[in-house]
Amino acid sequence: MASNLLEGPIPQEIESLMSLRDFDLSHNKLSGPIPTQIGNLSDLISLILANNNLSGRIPLQICDLSLGNLDLSHNFITGDIPSELLNLSYSIKIDLSHNLLQGAIPSQFGSLTHLSILDLSWNNLTGMIPEFPFSVENLNLSINSLRGPIPDGLLHFAPETFAGNKDLCGSIQGFLPCPSSPTVNQERNSKVRHDLHVIIMVPSLLFFVSTSALVIFILFRQYRAQALKSDPSPTKNGDLFSIWNFDGKIAFEDIIKATGDFDMKYCIGTGGYGSVYRAVLPSGKIVALKKLHRLEAEQPTYDTSFRNEIQFLTEIRHKNIVKLHGFCLHNRCMFLIYEYMENGSLFYALSIDEESMELDWTKRVNIVKGVAHALSYMHHDCNPPIVHRDISSSNVLLNWKWEAFISDFGTARLLDPDSSNRTVIVGTYGYIAPEHSYSLVVTEKCDVYSFGVLTLEILMGKHPGELLSTLSSSSPSSVQNVMLNEILDPRLSPPRSRKMAGDIAFVAVIAFTCLRAKPKARPTMKLVSQEFLHIKSPISMPLHEMSLIELKNHKMFMCDESHR
């Protein structure tokens, strides 16, 4: 039941499903505590409740299950991590990230010998990191309040594993060395003679080295603070982005302050890439900050996508493409700074009834036009052409005037005229052009197809997957008598004016034309953009008299090889 709009608490009656093995309620809007009755599901091996609004503590009853996968991430769960989790001796993955957990990491985690993924990031965990005698493959303890030395058994992990814990120390890049000396460690590990002088001198030496290291550390901090203080930076009261690419450290400090060191109260959205925050800068400008969670990605492709987005958005400018104000490539974290979009994503606006009512027919037609103009710019005004490869309602953002902006260029690609442009399949399921699935060749027509899906989604208020399957079937007679007005978003009143009805019919014809099976039969986005500059209704009749088959077969564009 994942990825729906389920609300309210998880019912206690769930305990009646005694044979349940996999329970996935992730990506909903569930609230309240996790019911203790889940502990009665003795056959349960996978519990996924991620990306909800669940609160309260982790029920101890869960610890009595033989779970192989426990994912409670991206909620508002409080309290400490139960030490009883050691009972999950056969667990492969435990993800408690992005919650409000406090206290120390239980040392009993060392008993989980089968664990391959442990993610405790983005909480408020305190204390020292316990020893992990087993070999966990993927570990994430970042963005907490942990302190003390990083255990020797964990020094092989990347620095990002521990980033955001300012009081940790160890021989890992980006962290201060712990207040001890290698010489002392060698002395401590060597065979010591049972001599009174040695017994007295070792504590003295330890005290001397520790004190010296502490003094050096304090002097270093004072020097660094003075250097930052004496730097005449215009970012404190001026335009942050005027020096954004020249002094990342100052920008980084401003962002840390504006987001409360990435406090969850500033978080306005999450995804596979990381989290998005709303930040008010010293100049008063409101921006959106997308922070990359590289360890969550578990693959270097996310880092590549991050840098790919920087490359494209710093080079292209269009009124319907989201503006990149700046970026930070700090060793502690990496983030992008965009102009703030008050109304969020188009997907969100269409999913929520109250928001969808704000999107009247005029706004929806304008959103389609805005996306078309932006894609036309990317395909025909950029040299070489840029293909987005992931046009979807989640990647279209809306400002306070409900104007559309294409975002997320992490998978965008330049079309090389001297290359086959073969690539792996990327994009959002349900928007990917069918030919890309078998040819693996990306062209502008892949974006054209995705645009067609998006356009129907805007008219219908939901993804048109079922309609597309019916229309593409060998016997589309089932929709022979389906009229255009029957598929329009029922939450909106039918268009009152004849002109608006004609505009909607025009948009529908364009959508069906962009969804043609053969790429060469689809129009170019330049042609679509030009047609939108002078909308002419293709059919002069009421919406309830326009059948989908007639619209699908309408000869608006005569597409051929010259339009590729």
Q: Residue 538: which CATH number?
A: 1.10.510.10
The answer, yes or no, to whether residue 320 has pLDDT greater than 90, is: yes
Residue 485: inside a domain = yes
Residues 438 and 547 placed together within one structural domain of the fold:
yes
The answer, yes or no, to whether residue 366 has pLDDT greater than 50, is: yes
Residues 352 and 300 placed together within one structural domain of the fold:
no
Residues within the annotated binding site? 290
Compute the residue count for the chain: 564
In whole angstroms, give the CA distance from residue 279 to residue 367: 26
N-to-C CA span, the chain: 41
Q: What 3-state DSSP class applies to 345?
A: strand
Q: Which pLDDT score is estimated for 118?
A: 87
Cβ neighbours around 91 below 10 Å, total: 24
Instruction: Work out the pLDDT band at 404, boundaries 50, 70, 90.
Output: very high
In whole angstroms, give the CA distance from residue 29 to residue 6: 6
Q: Residue 312: which CATH number?
A: 3.30.200.20
How many domains would you assign to the chain?
A: 4
Convert 485-521 to b/e letters by CB count within 10 Å (16 or more is b): bebbbeeeeebeeeebbbbbbbbbbbbbbbbbeebeb
Element (H, E) at 70: strand 69-71
Determine which one of 95, 390, 447, 503 is catalytic. 390
Q: Which domain holds residue 191?
A: 185-230
Segment 412-466, tens digit of pLDDT: 888 776 655 556 667 788 898 888 766 677 889 999 999 999 999 999 999 998 8
pLDDT (average), residues 314-331: 82
Residues 210 and 90 placed together within one structural domain of the fold:
no
Residues 212 and 131 placed together within one structural domain of the fold:
no
- The answer to whether 27 and 51 are in contact (CB under 8 A) is yes
The answer, yes or no, to whether residue 561 has pLDDT greater than 50, is: no
pLDDT (average), residues 4-12: 89
Q: Which pLDDT score is estimated for 177?
A: 84
Among residues 273, 305, 339, the one where a domain terminates is 339
pLDDT (average), residues 32-41: 90
* Residue 397, strand partner residues: 345, 405
Q: Which pLDDT score is estimated for 109?
A: 63
- Angle of CA points 100, 105, 108, to nearest 5°: 135
Residues 375 and 288 placed together within one structural domain of the fold:
no
Instruction: Work out the pLDDT band at 361, boundaries 50, 70, 90.
Output: very high
The answer, yes or no, to whether residue 90 has pLDDT greater than 60, is: yes
Residues 193 and 248 placed together within one structural domain of the fold:
no
Residues 367 and 450 placed together within one structural domain of the fold:
yes
- The answer to whether 494 and 488 are in contact (CB under 8 A) is yes
| Residue 378: DSSP 8-state | I
Q: Which pLDDT score is estimated for 479?
A: 64
Phi-psi sector, 160: left (phi>0), alpha (psi -120 to 50), beta: alpha
Residues within the annotated binding site for ATP? 290
pTM of the model: 0.57
Residue 498: inside a domain = yes
Among residues 301, 321, 339, the one where a domain terminates is 339
Residue 157: inside a domain = yes
pLDDT (average), residues 100-119: 76
Q: Which pLDDT score is estimated for 88?
A: 63
Residue 1: inside a domain = no
In whole angstroms, give the CA distance from residue 352 to residue 346: 10
Residue 380: inside a domain = yes
Here the tokens at position 554 are: 């309408």
Residues 257 and 357 placed together within one structural domain of the fold:
no
- The answer to whether 277 and 287 are in contact (CB under 8 A) is no
Residues 469 and 504 placed together within one structural domain of the fold:
yes
In whole angstroms, give the CA distance from residue 562 to residue 189: 77
Q: What 3-state DSSP class applies to 347?
A: helix
Residues 534 and 434 placed together within one structural domain of the fold:
yes
pLDDT (average), residues 2-21: 89
Residue 180: inside a domain = no
Segment 147-164, tens digit of pLDDT: 889 888 888 888 878 887
Residue 235: inside a domain = no
DSSP-assigned letters across all residues of 204-259: HHHHHHHHHHHHHHHHHHHHHHHHHHHS--TTTTS-GGGGTTT-HHHHHHHHHHHT
Residue 406: inside a domain = yes
In whole angstroms, give the CA distance from residue 52 to residue 47: 13
Element (H, E) at 337: strand 334-339
Among residues 292, 323, 339, the one where a domain terminates is 339
Instruction: Work out the pLDDT band at 180, boundaries 50, 70, 90.
Output: low
Task: For residue 152, indicate whether it is catalytic.
Answer: no
Q: Residue 30: which CATH number?
A: 3.80.10.10
Among all chains, which residue has been given the structure tokens 């409670």? Answer: 72
Residues 223 and 252 placed together within one structural domain of the fold:
no
Between the CA of residue 74 and those of 51, 212, 274, what are the distances in Å?
5, 43, 11
DSSP-assigned letters across all residues of 438-504: HH-B--HHHHHHHHHHHHHHHHHSS--HHHHHHHTSS-GGGGTT-BHHHHS-TTSPPP-SHHHHHHH
pLDDT (average), residues 204-232: 41
Residues 361 and 324 placed together within one structural domain of the fold:
no
In whole angstroms, give the CA distance from residue 162 to residue 241: 29
